[in-house]
Amino acid sequence: MNTGTVNTGTALHRVHWMPGTDRLLAVCHCGAERAFEDPVPLWDWLLGHPEDHDRPAEGAP
């Protein structure tokens, strides 16, 4: 397994810890983002794509 490259045929999900908090930021392959305190609902949300996934506003970071 090579972790230095991304297989473009696979959906990429990211989970970021929000420093100074107990919150996690989930980023779906579609660009939707949502903050969670518990990793279980975070992964339910990510893997339940596209339910409750609103794309970020145009020009949003």
- Domain total of the chain: 1
Is residue 29 in a domain? yes
Q: What integer pLDDT is reported at residue 60 of this predicted model?
A: 45
* Residue 37 or 59, more confident: 37
Q: Would 36 be classed as within a structural domain? A: yes
State the residue range of the domain holding 31: 14-48
Between vectors from CA 15 to CA 42 and to CA 34, what angle results, nearest 5°?
50
pLDDT score for 26: 94
User: pLDDT by residue (tens digit) across 4-51?
Assistant: 555 566 778 999 999 999 999 999 988 899 999 999 999 999 988 776
Name every residue whose Cβ is closer than 8 Å to that of residue 34 and which is 6 or more positions away in sequence. Answer: 25, 26, 42, 45, 52
Is residue 57 in some structural domain? Answer: no
Indicate whether 18 belongs to any domain.
yes
Under a CB-based contact definition with an 8 Å cutoff, are residues 39 and 6 in contact?
no
- The reply to whether 6 falls in a domain is no
For residue 55, tell me if it sits in a domain. Answer: no
Does 9 fall in a domain? no
**In the block, which residue shows the tokens 């596209």?**
50
